[in-house]
Amino acid sequence: MDRPQHFVIILVEEFSHIAFSCAVEPLRIANLASGKELYSWSLASEDGTQAVCSNGTVSLVDHGLDDLPRCDQIFLLSGINMKNHVTRPILACLRRARSRGTNIGALCSGAWLLASAGFLDGMKTSIHWEYHDAFAEEFPDVPLVRNVFVADEKHMTASGGTATADLMLHLIERDHGHDLSVAVADKMVYNAVRNATAEQRVSLQSRNGMRNAHMVRAIQRMQAAISEPVSPSLIAEEIGISTRQLERLFGKYLNTSPKRFYMEMRLERARNLLVQTENSVTEVALACGFESAGHFSRVYRSCFGITPNSQRNRID
């Protein structure tokens, strides 16, 4: 490629600063390591002057949304409270860019805005794991995956943080070869580069400090049946052990019972939905496997010391 590829990064208010750095720095280092200008980039925001990230840092930008330059790739970068920033100017800008045939991707929670514009229906999509529950409820037609990034769809998505660097290193390797990608990672002192199929969160084994295959399968089964819970006895039968043995394993590794662990998992998802969506308490209760809002509210308060209705008004 004779000319540098130009990326435009649209900074949405309260964007993630770490994702921003992980987007730009690999491109800068690729130029440095190659001795050529392989990439150029410019920044845009809704007001055309600046954007404020979630840690309060102010970034000056080059463009407003009405005067984006021609480019090879647009990345939409947002962070916390992304639902509050799904604005008409941003959606209109995205649709104009798509009509021109520009490649459009999203970083961190930016997939929420692309989904709001209707861009992601039927496409595998990655978003930061904190927003998985809310995203799945809001956009049921978007196949959400836990991969750190998705690069083989029309709209690339990365889950944020250092996953953004993984995506950029993938693009550098795709366009300029493995050796340059490795050289960039080395200069970043980044020796844990992940491919697209890597999951965002650490494995169940690492997270729970265990290596027991029965435990892993049991917890995976629980995760897959949040809205329609199954009994511990059925889980034990499915994984080929007795209910008694399952109880002993949970006591040994997690100091709890399967029933209690399962309930806490469902309540944790309920808390995510209460904070991240506008779903009613009844809708959240049903999505997390509770037959009535009343029972859900009692169990929720017993666990968290606050009612579901009060949870929405609480700032942790």
pLDDT value of residue 206:
46
What gap in Å lies between CA 108 and CA 112, rounded to an integer? 9
pLDDT value of residue 200:
64
Domain count within the chain: 2
pLDDT digit string, tens, across residues 75-100:
999 999 999 999 999 999 999 999 99
pLDDT band, very low/low/confident/very high, at 253 (cuts 50, 70, 90): confident
Query: Does one domain contain both 139 and 284?
Result: no
Q: Provide the CATH number for the domain around residue 231.
A: 1.10.10.60
Query: Does one domain contain both 62 and 125?
Result: yes
Q: Is residue 278 part of a domain?
A: yes
Query: Does one domain contain both 285 and 136?
Result: no
Query: Does one domain contain both 167 and 215?
Result: no
pLDDT band, very low/low/confident/very high, at 274 (cuts 50, 70, 90): confident
pLDDT value of residue 8:
98
Query: Does one domain contain both 159 and 57?
Result: yes
**Helix 232-239 and helix 243-254: axis angle, to 10°?**
100
Write out the residue range of the structural domain in which residue 305 sits: 204-311
Q: Is residue 302 part of a domain?
A: yes
Q: Is residue 197 part of a domain?
A: no
- State the CB neighbour count (10 A cutoff) for residue 293: 18
Return the percentage of the chain with pLDDT > 90, whole number. 71
In angstroms, the Cα distances linking 112 to 43, 106, 144, 149 are: 20, 9, 11, 14
Query: Does one domain contain both 288 and 221?
Result: yes
Rounded to an integer, the average pLDDT of 176-202 is 77
Rounded to an integer, the average pLDDT of 267-284 is 87
Q: Provide the CATH number for the domain around residue 164.
A: 3.40.50.880
165 near 26, Cβ under 8 Å?
A: yes
Query: Does one domain contain both 176 and 28?
Result: yes
Q: Which of 210, 227, 304, 212 is nearest to 262 (CA)?
A: 227
